[in-house]
Amino acid sequence: MLVGNAAGTVPCLLGAYLLTFNDAQLGGLGPFVALPSLFLVPFLIGFVAAFVWRPLHLGIGMTLAHSATCTAIGLVSAGLFLGEGIICLIILSPILLAGVMAGALIGRLVFRRKKNSLVLCFAPLAILALVEPGLREPHTGAVIDEIRINAPPARVWPHVLAFDEIPDPPDYWLFRAGLPYPTMTTNGGNFVGASRACHFSGGAVFEEKVAEFVPGQRLAFDIVKSPPDPELIGHLDAYRGQFELRDNGDGSTTLTGTTWYALQVRPAWYFDWWTHDIFRAVHLRVMNNIKRLAERGS
């Protein structure tokens, strides 16, 4: 079990180690050899583990049970030795478990047939696991949310610029599990280029710079510095945000919040779903607070 995990972890550690060099030292190959593919590494962990488990003659149920244990060891190891955050590991665990199980079940059949060899035809998978990430571009996207506020834009706008500590406890399950959530926003000036800061729980701060300022209508900002959070580093980069107000003409305002982001992890469809779910929770926490403040003011 441990050998299987170790075999899968080696390329991860190699990739992480190579990332500590700068690109010139690696001749531009750093990104090419780092961050092994998310699907293939778990598959290889299970596949190699099945090779090691051959003498145990495991049935299907025991293979699945060993795969689950193997996955747990992998997750704990990633937390301890690779510095991964617990939320990332929660998000990663279904893919890791499915990959390890698939690799172990296939390996079980393959090694039952060819009892004494590691089957070199699967070697290209190991190479692909290292090479594939270097071939991909960062995946970019935007999360857009909209709420209606029963107050005119003039009452909403001041609370868009800055607000004190949000009194509501977090209601999103990942916030309750430890994912930092927005608590307050400070504003360094009402002009393009002014500094802003969005404070999250646990002392995390996103430093921002105002990129567009149209009073009562639009506030856009670039996120110039993200907190050094293991849940974000190397995975997700939120690089721009925007609030837009639309006067509904009936004394109410439609507030639209947008966050632009770049994903470095794959599969994009999977992590995109999580990114939207998390950013939506962030948006709604902030926007519902703005709604509460604006409607109370009216």
Partner 1 sequence: MFHFVVHRLRWLTHVPLAPQFFDALLLAWTALVNRPRLRAIEALESAAFELPGVAPCLHRFGGIGFAHDGVEFAHLHGNGLLDVHLTRERAAALAATGRAAPHHVFGPSAWISFWVRSPTDVNAALGLIEEGARVIRLNEKASAPGVGRLES
Contacts with partner 1, residue ranges (CB under 8 A): 39, 43, 59-61, 64, 97-99, 101-102, 105-106, 109-110, 112-113
For the bound state, the minimum distance from the C-beta of residue 113 to partner 1, rounded and expressed in Å, comes to 5
For the bound state, the minimum distance from the C-beta of residue 266 to partner 1, rounded and expressed in Å, comes to 14
Give 64 or 197: the residue with its C-beta nearer to partner 1. 64
For the bound state, the minimum distance from the C-beta of residue 278 to partner 1, rounded and expressed in Å, comes to 24
For the bound state, the minimum distance from the C-beta of residue 128 to partner 1, rounded and expressed in Å, comes to 9
188-225 burial string, b = 16+ CB within 10 Å, else e?
Answer: eeeeeeeebebbbeeebebbbebeebeeeeebbbebee
Give 28 or 61: the residue with its C-beta nearer to partner 1. 61
Other CB atoms within 10 Å distance of the CB of residue 17 = 11
CA-CA-CA-CA dihedral for 21, 23, 29, 35, to nearest 10: 60
Give 108 or 291: the residue with its C-beta nearer to partner 1. 108
Give 99 or 241: the residue with its C-beta nearer to partner 1. 99
Give 52 or 97: the residue with its C-beta nearer to partner 1. 97
Give 75 or 255: the residue with its C-beta nearer to partner 1. 75
For the bound state, the minimum distance from the C-beta of residue 274 to partner 1, rounded and expressed in Å, comes to 19
Question: What tokens appear for 115 in the block?
Answer: 């009892």
Cβ proximity of 285 and 181 under 8 Å:
yes
Give 44 or 265: the residue with its C-beta nearer to partner 1. 44
For the bound state, the minimum distance from the C-beta of residue 67 to partner 1, rounded and expressed in Å, comes to 8
For the bound state, the minimum distance from the C-beta of residue 6 to partner 1, rounded and expressed in Å, comes to 22
Give 70 or 220: the residue with its C-beta nearer to partner 1. 70
Residue 102 CA from chain centroid, whole number: 24
For the bound state, the minimum distance from the C-beta of residue 98 to partner 1, rounded and expressed in Å, comes to 6
